[in-house]
Amino acid sequence: MKKDRKTIASQVSEALQFIRAKIKARPKIAIVLGSGLGDVADTLSEPDPIDTSAIPSFPRSTVESHHGRLVFGRLGNVSICALQGRVHYYETGELEPVLYPVRILHALGIKTLIITNAAGGINRFFKPADLMLITDQINLTFENPLRAIQVSIQHQQLYDPNLQEIIDQVGKEKDIPLHRGIYCGLQGPSYETAAEIEMIRRLGGDAVGMSTVNEVSLASSLGMRVAGISCITNLSTGISDQKLSHGEVTEVARAAKQSFGELLRGIIQNIG
């Protein structure tokens, strides 16, 4: 059931009041942690978690490894908020549950948003456990995340160029190999066929997944600076003959968590 602007604003206001009553921190940076990448939130110092199931109107993730917590804490000496898990479009068949967490982060005063995901590699130079800095995106969910808002910022790059430079530099300083590429988002939940992967490759996609694109479009339109990082957890159908499973995705993401966590810590220190 689609919600109008007034209903969404009322729900966000109620959720904000609930969170503010529990959390004293006022971070300006947030991280959305994708499949298999949620362990980063467990490394925060001075953690102050809230189960998202307790937040009014907050959607519940049904996917394994998406724990459903909003964790306030410090990464190094920088105060941040980490969203441990997300809701995908295919879980509800509706766009608003995907966007609601971004609305909450914006209401909390977040200025910089780092969105991460587990993705299938399309670029033939990629291999499992590689990290990819997202430079742009292709939205094949066929949804418009800006339908219910007054768009104030237009004609800008979705992924902030200055943040990309910072992330590139951190990768070089820490000797963490970092690809650059375009992320393609689909509705899911099925993995793509070889023909679909070839189509996305011809469109310019380097990695593919079932999240991120609508979240980024909304966050950017709300004035947040956005950066995106994909963990390449598998090679897509047609690129590899191996059968795909969510278990494989989360296992590879966890294998990459050390370099991923080190990269995030460096990024946060540089922009914090």
Cβ neighbours of 119 (radius 10 Å): 34
Residue 64: the pLDDT is: 61
- DSSP-derived secondary structure for 45-80: EEEEEEEGGGSTT-----STT---EEEEEEETTEEE
Q: Which residues are catalytic?
A: 35, 66, 88, 90-91, 118, 210-211, 234, 246
pLDDT band for 140, please (50, 70, 90 cuts): very high
Q: Could you tell me the end-to-end alpha-carbon distance of the chain, in angstroms, rounded to an integer?
A: 39
- Asked if pLDDT for residue 128 goes beyond 80, the answer is yes
Tell me what the mean pLDDT of segment 172-194 comes to: 93
Residue 177: the pLDDT is: 92
Residue 76: the pLDDT is: 86
Has residue 149 been placed in a domain? yes
Has residue 180 been placed in a domain? yes
pLDDT higher for 117 or 63?
117
Has residue 190 been placed in a domain? yes
- Asked if pLDDT for residue 260 goes beyond 60, the answer is yes
Has residue 9 been placed in a domain? no
Has residue 12 been placed in a domain? no
Residue 167: the pLDDT is: 97
Has residue 13 been placed in a domain? no
Residue 246: the pLDDT is: 54
Summarised one tens digit per residue, pLDDT across range 142-151 is 999 987 666 5
* C-alpha distance from residue 75 to each of 43, 82, 85 (Å): 8, 10, 18
pLDDT band for 253, please (50, 70, 90 cuts): low
Q: What is the CATH number of the domain that holds 237?
A: 3.40.50.1580
Residue 192: the pLDDT is: 86
Has residue 5 been placed in a domain? no
| Phi, psi of 146, deg, nearest 5 | -100, 5
Summarised one tens digit per residue, pLDDT across range 52-93 is 999 999 998 776 655 789 999 999 899 999 999 888 999 999
Kindly give the interhelix angle for 257-271 and 161-173, rounded to the nearest 10 degrees: 120
pLDDT band for 35, please (50, 70, 90 cuts): confident
Domain count, the chain: 1
Residue 190: the pLDDT is: 85
Domain ranges, residue 234:
23-271
131 has which bridge partners?
A: 231
Has residue 245 been placed in a domain? yes
